[in-house]
Amino acid sequence: MDWARHGQNVANLTNTFSHRVYDGDLTELGRQQADQLGERLAAEDRFYTRLATSPLRRAVQTAEIVASYLGIEIAATIDDLRELNVGELDGRNDHQAWNAYHAVLRSWRDGDLTARFPGGEDCHELVARLRTALATVTSDAGAGPALVVAHGANIRAALPTMTGSPDPGTDLSTGSLARLDVTSTSDEVTIALRDWTVAS
């Protein structure tokens, strides 16, 4: 399975938390990044059998552009693929909000997976929803490869707990790609990181 981060959007420029409250469009650069991603994946002849996206505008707009290059349609919009649920921080961009955000992520990295964004989710809840989403996409894709267009912070934050891999140390860049091995059965979902930043 390939996990693509959306192209640059307005929230990236204003450093605004965007889970539900704020939902900005792609910038011109973001559209260019989506074009480049679509061109690149089309050149690889990956022949995706499933394309799913987060419902946030920046992900949907990226997915629409990429789909046009691949000659496929968006098969599913999955709420569980949303960016981190930062609760009361959503829609904010002030230093106090960012300090609270980094404190929660630092707690997760230190092993306290019950640390919670104020009014938002803890790491266990994040991992559970992403595992559910990835299992659904993998099951629906059948034997072929699947493509998810979503976010950078949620997958990075969930990665150590979800896969057993260490924190990759950096976010996925906007418009970039990671590769995961996802195996889903009726009893369990196994997720492994294959490549965090797939070279262009």
* pLDDT (mean) for 63-70: 97
Q: Work out the end-to-end distance of the chain between its first and last CA atoms, rounded to an integer number of angstroms.
A: 17
92 in Cβ contact with 67 (< 8 Å): no
| Predicted TM-score (pTM) of this structure | 0.94
State pLDDT tens for residues 160-180: 999 999 999 999 999 999 999
pLDDT for the residue numbered 48: 94
Give dist(CA 182, CA 70) in Å, integer: 22
**pLDDT tens, residue by residue, 92-130:** 999 999 999 999 999 999 999 999 999 999 999 999 999
Mean pLDDT (the chain, rounded): 94
